[in-house]
Amino acid sequence: MRALPTAIPDVKVLVPDRHADDRGFLSETWNRRAFDAVGIPHEFVQDIHCLSVATGTLRGLHFQRPPYAQHKLIRVVRGAIMDVAVDLRRGSPTFARHVTVELSAEAWNQVFVPIGFAHGYCTMAPNTEVIYKVSDRYAPDREGGLLWNDPALGIDWPVSARNAAISDRDRHLPPLAELTDVFE
């Protein structure tokens, strides 16, 4: 397992080893000892598998508030996404900044997004499948979100607002200036 840095040090890109032969490959995408060794000593309690049919499907930017805040480990098993993590930790030197990572089945990479970040992604290929692990259960009364195309964030999404396939809920999330419950 290789850990690669990003512009925000707490967000890490991980590249699991793949052992291939003429039959295919084997890859260990999560292992407690390997993750401890790269500075990610967190447990995960739930896996989520998501299919997005259309290119330009946008999901996010989402987070869960304490006490059900979540670390996330995201990977793509088919297709490709532009993954985004926005720092919502008030007092952090990178507060309100974001990092983007292209994840794809071909690159066989994944990204770790810690508690305190809003997370989202946009598909860059049709029929993209994303699998992610979370460190705490989903609690609908503790979920929050941030407007995906808030100009204050300056995220260069690979799709325009007019062409994005996005849920009504995500389309009406608040901009950062109206978000009163960021992480302390």
> Which one of 98, 119, 121, 132 is the catalytic residue?
132
CA distances in angstroms from 93 to 7, 67, 89, 120, 155, listed in the order given: 12, 23, 9, 21, 18
> Which one of 19, 49, 62, 119 is the catalytic residue?
62
Q: Is 62 a catalytic residue?
A: yes
Q: Is the dihedral of CA 61, 62, 65, 66 positive or negative?
A: negative
Q: Is 49 a catalytic residue?
A: no
d(CA 48, CA 36): 22
Q: Which tokens in the block code for residue 14?
A: 């991980």
Q: What are phi and psi of 76, to 5 degrees?
A: -110, 130
Cα 161 from chain centre: 20
DSSP state of 33: H
Q: Is 79 helix (H, G, I), strand (E, B) or coil?
A: coil
d(CA 92, CA 163): 33
d(CA 36, CA 130): 23
Catalytically active residues are 62, 132
